[in-house]
Amino acid sequence: MNYAAGTQWSAAAMADYAGKNILVTGSNSGLGYEIAKFFAGKKANVIMACRSFSKGQQAAKSIRSYYHDACINIMELNLASLESVRCFVQGVRSMYTRLDLLFNNAGVMATPYTRTKDGFELQFGTNHLGHFALTGLLLELICSNLDSRIVTMSSAMNTLCPLKFDSLNKRTNYNKWLAYGQSKLANLLFAFELQRRLSRALSSTISIAAHPGWAKTNLQRHTGFFGYLNPYLAQSGAQGALPALFAATSSNVKGGEFYGPDGFMEMRGSPARAMVGERARNCEDAQKLWQISEEMTGVCYSFPMNRLAA
């Protein structure tokens, strides 16, 4: 592992984000809640994108019990529905002229075989395709800001299996863990390919990936054995959010990097550069995934050239 300059980094020392617009998917619980709470405490304008509006309200109420003047906007977003993604983006564009940070955080883990509203396997459809569509539709708002960043949450389980392009939606021989690993590999391939395309467009916006290690969240509700081990082996959600926060805020971060905990097997610890396997480095697979994702979602990216390129 290549350790970042952020080893033993503390998010508490970060400057205020007053006036900045931060969008966090899946922010009513788990890592997303911790990220939203952190930026609310830094005086940012936090957009909490939640599948359940009522749960988002409960989460916002909890955050405001810590920060009474928190600026929070709760918006409904179901990443398992492309219609919901498009409606959400329309709402964001009607209220904001720019986004400073986008956290592609929401996800599902090790679920029984299910399809999204658009017919995609649930984990691939939610974890990757939903965020692919969301990012593409919001790209103009993100790239209008010189210092914007896109942080996509992956997992150390991205190494479980290769991306099988011929069986992304097949129910035959479905294995919930391999499907999860495949979706997390897709997240990583997407984050890296997005950075390559941003660089070619001479954009100052950067794309970074992060993973939380083993963090105790309700994401493990379908995992059985692993859920039982949470109280004994998992770090807190707040600690698990640190790699994403470091990726989003540190001046030491560069586009196309991957961050996770620095401890044993990257399960817990302080933010550091994470290991990237050969599968995630495969540019041919990344380009193929991009093309397939455009075809499946109907979202084609347009990379606006920002002011730094002028």
Q: Which residues are catalytic?
A: 180
By CB neighbour count within 10 A (0-12 exposed, 13-18 middle, 19+ buried), where does 218 fall? middle
CA 158, CA 156: separation in Å to the nearest integer?
5
Element (H, E) at 261: strand 258-261
20: Cβ contacts below 8 Å, ≥ 6 apart: 39, 44, 45, 100, 101
Q: Is the dihedral of CA 53, 115, 297, 305 positive or negative?
A: positive
Q: For the sheet containing 21-25, what is the strand order?
A: 71-76, 45-50, 21-25, 101-104, 149-153, 206-210, 258-261, 271-273
Residue type at 213 in one-letter notation? G
